[in-house]
Amino acid sequence: MRRTRKLFNNNTVNMIAFTIPIVAMVMAIVIFAFILNALRSEPVTTGLKEVKETAKGEALNKDIDEPVSYISETNYKGALSQFPELYQIPFKKTESYVSNKEFSKEHSDIFTECEEDATEFFETLFNVNYRDILNDSKGFVTDVMKNGDYDAYVTKFYDTDDQETIYFYRYINELAEYFIENQVQMEAKFYTDDSLVYSDYYTFVRGELVFTIYSSEDGSSEYETGKEYQVPVEAAMHRCPSDQSDRVICSFGLAEDQTFFFNP
């Protein structure tokens, strides 16, 4: 019979069995001493400090990421909370700026008229069926401008027919032609509030234009048909909208455009 050699004899096994517990006990004592020494040299609050600093850093980053708000310059009372961007765009354009909060102290009585004029302007201009404009383009421009013959208006009140002065009227004409040429059909709604009327040489009314283009032949447009868009816009009008002869809107455009006469 072939015999197999044992890897360990009995004495070796007994010695290992006796040695392992002793080594394990010594290692446990060493590890415990190391941990105890670490705890004595490093306060327990270090972990809390790191957590606090991390939380502070996250809070700081959150503050940096949050958009700036100019709501403190207005008499905001909670309306239009669904359009926070209206209060995240600066109102001031020049040194003539009068905030909504200050402007309302003496002129709050004209705010409703301003808002109604701006609403009528935007909703007349952007609720469009090109077929209706094609049938009566002059009537469309007249309805948008709300004052009939703008050339006569300018000549009467400013004694001039300068092209820059009547530019806005001609621009509305160009828009009418654009709607016809590109067969545009769209719907729009304008939302504004007393807290969005302010002064900066002109009276400005800011609001959210919510619109959908249902058809358009303009392949270069950034707006897709069938999709709803929300855009902050402003209308500029003369200082005394309570005067029916001086309530014409003289410009409009994106709210973020910090100029008097916008380039819509």
Q: Kindly write down the DSSP assignment for every residue of 149-180, as one continuous string.
A: -HHHHHHHHHS---TTTTHHHHHHHHHHHHHH
Residue 153 lies in a domain: yes
Residues 90 and 22 reside in one and the same domain: no
- Please indicate, yes or no, whether residues 94 and 22 belong to a single structural domain of this protein: no
Same domain, 38 and 123: no
Q: Is there a single domain that holds both residue 150 and residue 213? A: yes
> Which strand (E) or helix (H) includes residue 235?
strand 228-237
Q: Provide the number of structural domains found in the chain.
A: 2
186 contact partners, CB below 8 Å, separation of at least 6 = 126, 127, 128, 211, 212, 213, 214, 216
Residue 120 and residue 43 share a domain = no
Establish if 262 belongs to a structural domain.
Answer: no
For 209, the 3-state DSSP assignment is strand
- How much is the pLDDT for 238? 73
Q: Are residues 27 and 109 in the same domain?
A: no
Return the higher-pLDDT residue of 45 and 146.
146
Asked if residue 247 has pLDDT above 50, the reply is: yes
Q: Is residue 3 part of a domain?
A: no
Does residue 118 have a pLDDT over 60? Answer: yes
Task: Name the nearest CA neighbour of 192 among 173, 219, 210.
Answer: 210
- The Cα–Cα gap between 128 and 214 comes to 10
Token digits of residue 148: 């009939």
Cβ neighbors of 126 (< 8 A, separation 6 or more) are 186, 187, 188, 209, 211
Domain match, 102 and 170 both: yes
pLDDT of 5 over the 50 cut: no
Residue 183 lies inside a defined structural domain of this protein: yes
The answer to whether residues 251 and 144 touch, using CB atoms and an 8 Å cutoff, is no
Over residues 169-198, the mean pLDDT reads 95
- 263 part of a folded domain: no
Q: How far apart are the first and last CA of the chain?
A: 105
CA count, 13 A, side-chain hemisphere, 175: 21
Q: Do residue 123 and residue 142 come from a single domain?
A: yes
- What pLDDT, on the 0 to 100 scale, is given for residue 257? 80
Q: Which range marks the domain in which residue 19 is found?
A: 10-61
In this prediction, residue 193 has a pLDDT band, given cuts at 50, 70 and 90, of very high
Sign for the CA dihedral angle at 207, 208, 213, 216 comes to positive
**Which pLDDT band, with edges at 50, 70 and 90, does 10 fall under?**
very low
Q: Say yes or no: 131 and 45 in one domain.
A: no
Verify that 56 and 86 share a domain, yes or no.
no
Based on the fold, state whether residues 27 and 75 are members of the same structural domain.
Answer: no
Three-state DSSP state, 249: strand
The count of C-alpha atoms lying within 13 angstroms of the C-alpha of 118, restricted to the half-sphere facing its C-beta, is: 32
Q: What is the pTM of this model?
A: 0.70
Question: 């709501």: which residue's tokens?
Answer: 71
The residue among 61, 85, 104 that closes a domain is: 61
236 or 130: which leads in pLDDT: 130
